[in-house]
Amino acid sequence: MDFLEEIERRRTFGIISHPDAGKTTLTEKLLLYGGAIQEAGAVKSNKIKKGATSDFMEIERQRGISVATSVLAFIYKDKKINILDTPGHKDFAEDTFRTLTAVDSVIVVIDVAKGVETQTEKLVEVCRMRKIPIIVFINKLDREGKDAFDLLDEVEQKLGLKVVPLSFPIGMGYDFKGIYNLWDKKLNIFSGDIKQTVSEGIEFTDVNIPELDEIIGESLANTLREEIELIEEVYPKFDLELYLKSDLQPVFFGSALNNFGVKELLDCFIEIAPPPQPKMSNIRMVDSKEKKFTGFVFKIHANMDPKHRDRLAFVKVVSGIFKRNFNYLHVKQGKKMKFSSPNAFFAEKKEIVDESFPGDIVGLHDTGNFKIGDTLTEGEILEFKGVPSFSPEHFRYVNNADPMKSKQLAKGLDQLMDEGVAQLFTLDLNGRKVIGTVGALQFEVIQYRLEHEYGAKCSYDNLNVHKACWVEPEDAYNDEFKEFKRVKQRYLAKDKKGQLVFLADSAFTVQMTQDKYPSVKLHFVSEFK
């Protein structure tokens, strides 16, 4: 297979949703259809009967939530599919936002009973800003929920999308009989006893034939006919070009837990979803079909395997072929590096690969050379943009709870901060360490991982800080900046890169500081330098 064919057969997408909408279960079922696993693990009421494949960190298994983006790959109908299963919880949104820089399309999962929730709104807004093609999957139809048309209206209004249903439910909850697939005119009938295996649909090119009444009953058959007529009148016809421009969003209904509507979603997805797309760098647009390799780090994960203390940098291949044992330029450091064991992923299972193509995610063993946002090329000096770092919103002093393990604590904090889960600040006045996170749940995750992966224990003390502001003086030697440093010395710290940070206790303080010291600029976002 030649280079261009390899690109065309790849689909790299993210699955996003509010927590508990069934995102991880959907990922499992996609893997089941792809033949990547034999039996799906169900995530139920925070007790995991059989661990979900994408939730491989111990804390995820215990809490029943995803706290880190995981990467999974499988082949389906000769298409190479790369799934990035993201955390839904708002406290881990930063990881999800960064992951969206590495995908070519997304599937948004919505709970039929809860409808559109706040976290979904934020994530979809990011996708719309970036013009990422979206498919909506309305999940949990085996439970009582909102009317299908009401949900479609809600998706349009709250998410600002223009939807077109490509499948439609027959009944809901206790009356749920199945799904009519408008995309390829097939009927899938629900049988509640077969929950973990895969069922085939019955072809129905015309819903008006009497056989439909025999299969689902006259009342439901008539309702379905009326609903299909209404869909054809109210909603636009599916247009591939509009979908790819992110101006039209197909909607599928189903129950991931019961394998319902998942195959329809997957079959349509591989047909319509875009192959690897071009990406903008700081100097030019890089086309995926270019022969020379370029790629960027969008995630770092310490301790993928706690037994081996390994740290992996996740690299999205943008163009060219990534080859094992080939010299590549680390643009930021200006040095050549080669990698003897690049990994492809199947959740925590990894295998060494010789070649990776645009759209693929490669795991590179890292001893501390990579930061999130770093670019690798075959020699061209360019950097990919748009990998953000947000100002933390929660701050706590971190204390060593076991003085015998101070080295382990320092190493653990150093590596976990490189993942981008939180930021570490060292106060200028007394050298105390402060952790800043986007969400409060991160503190628990850091504490858990320090103990279980590094053998170090920490405790926290509260700290009243509103925002971390990166300080940029117009002139580092003028009197105004010296005055600023003298007056604010109790609130000044250095971040991990040694940049000066002002820890402000309120929005009012930020405003007053900017008014009083106009030559000292305060920034709420730190670009990775």
Lowest-confidence pick of 63-67, 152-156, 175-179, 397-401 = 63-67
Q: In the predicted model, what is the mean pLDDT of residues 28-35?
A: 77
Q: How many CB atoms sit inside 10 A of residue 92's CB?
A: 24
Residue listed under structure tokens 């990776």:
356
Lowest-confidence pick of 21-30, 341-350, 360-369, 408-417 = 341-350
In the structure, what pLDDT confidence band is assigned to residue 152 with cuts at 50, 70 and 90?
Answer: very high
The yes-or-no verdict on residue 194 having pLDDT over 90 is no
pTM of the entire predicted model:
0.74
Q: Which amino acid is at 335?
A: K
What is the CATH code for 279-377?
A: 3.40.50.300
Average predicted confidence (pLDDT) for the chain: 81
**What would the pLDDT profile of 258-286 be if each residue is shown by its tens digit?**
778 888 889 899 999 999 999 988 889 99
**What would the pLDDT profile of 373-415 be if each residue is shown by its tens digit?**
889 999 899 988 765 566 677 899 999 988 888 898 988 888 7
The yes-or-no verdict on residue 306 having pLDDT over 70 is no
Task: Give CA angle at 145 (139, 146), nearest 5°.
Answer: 100
Q: What local confidence, expressed as pLDDT, does residue 347 receive?
A: 46
The yes-or-no verdict on residue 312 having pLDDT over 60 is yes
Residue 284 and residue 319 in contact, taking contact as beta carbons nearer than 8 Å? no
Residue listed under structure tokens 């600029």:
521
Strands (DSSP E) contained in 120-159 are 134-139
- Spell out the residues 6+ positions from residue 122 whose beta carbon is closer than 8 angstroms to its own: 90, 93
**What is 33-75 written as a DSSP string?**
HTTS-SSPPPEETTEESS--TT--SHHHHHHTS--S-EEEEEE
Question: In whole angstroms, what is the distance from residue 529 CA to residue 526 CA?
Answer: 8
Strands (DSSP E) contained in 404-519 are 423-427, 433-437, 458-462, 467-473, 492-494, 500-504
Q: How many CB atoms sit inside 10 A of residue 131's CB?
A: 12
Question: In whole angstroms, what is the distance from residue 332 CA to residue 326 CA?
Answer: 18
Higher pLDDT pick, 101 / 490: 490
Residue listed under structure tokens 């609903």:
227
Q: Please state whether 386 falls in left (phi above 0), alpha (psi between -120 and 50) or beta.
A: left
What's the chain's length in residues? Answer: 529
The yes-or-no verdict on residue 476 having pLDDT over 60 is yes
Question: In whole angstroms, what is the distance from residue 294 CA to residue 317 CA?
Answer: 6
CA dihedral 206, 210, 214, 218 (to 10 degrees): 100
Same fold, 279-377 and 394-523: no
What are the backbone dihedrals phi and psi of residue 143, each rounded to the nearest 5 degrees, phi first? -110, 160
The yes-or-no verdict on residue 290 having pLDDT over 50 is yes
Lowest-confidence pick of 13-27, 46-60, 467-481 = 46-60
The yes-or-no verdict on residue 328 having pLDDT over 90 is yes
If you compute the radius of gyration of the chain from its CA atoms, what whole number of angstroms results?
25
Q: What local confidence, expressed as pLDDT, does residue 412 receive?
A: 86
Question: In whole angstroms, what is the distance from residue 39 CA to residue 167 CA?
Answer: 25
Lowest-confidence pick of 105-119, 193-207, 316-330, 503-517 = 193-207
The yes-or-no verdict on residue 46 having pLDDT over 90 is no
In the structure, what pLDDT confidence band is assigned to residue 309 with cuts at 50, 70 and 90?
Answer: low
Question: In whole angstroms, what is the distance from residue 389 CA to residue 97 CA?
Answer: 10
The yes-or-no verdict on residue 348 having pLDDT over 60 is no
Residue listed under structure tokens 């759209």:
359
Q: Choose among 49, 11, 323: nearest CA to 195.
A: 49
How close are the terminal C-alpha atoms of the chain, in Å? 39
Question: In whole angstroms, what is the distance from residue 425 CA to residue 503 CA?
Answer: 9
What is the CATH code for 394-523?
A: 3.30.70.3280
The yes-or-no verdict on residue 49 having pLDDT over 90 is no
Q: What local confidence, expressed as pLDDT, does residue 205 receive?
A: 65
**What would the pLDDT profile of 72-92 be if each residue is shown by its tens digit?**
888 888 888 888 866 544 544
Question: In whole angstroms, what is the distance from residue 96 CA to residue 84 CA?
Answer: 9
Q: What local confidence, expressed as pLDDT, does residue 36 receive?
A: 54
Q: What local confidence, expressed as pLDDT, does residue 245 receive?
A: 92
Element (H, E) at 248: none
Q: In the predicted model, what is the mean pLDDT of residues 116-140?
A: 86
Query: What percent of the chain has pLDDT above 90?
Result: 29
Task: Give CA angle at 27 (26, 28), nearest 5°.
Answer: 90
**What would the pLDDT profile of 208-241 be if each residue is shown by its tens digit?**
777 777 777 788 888 888 888 898 889 999 999 9
Superfamily holding 3-272? P-loop containing nucleotide triphosphate hydrolases (3.40.50.300)
Element (H, E) at 25: helix 23-33
Q: Where exactly are the structural domains of the chain?
A: 3-272, 279-377, 394-523
Q: What local confidence, expressed as pLDDT, does residue 94 receive?
A: 60
Q: What local confidence, expressed as pLDDT, does residue 203 receive?
A: 63
The yes-or-no verdict on residue 110 having pLDDT over 80 is yes
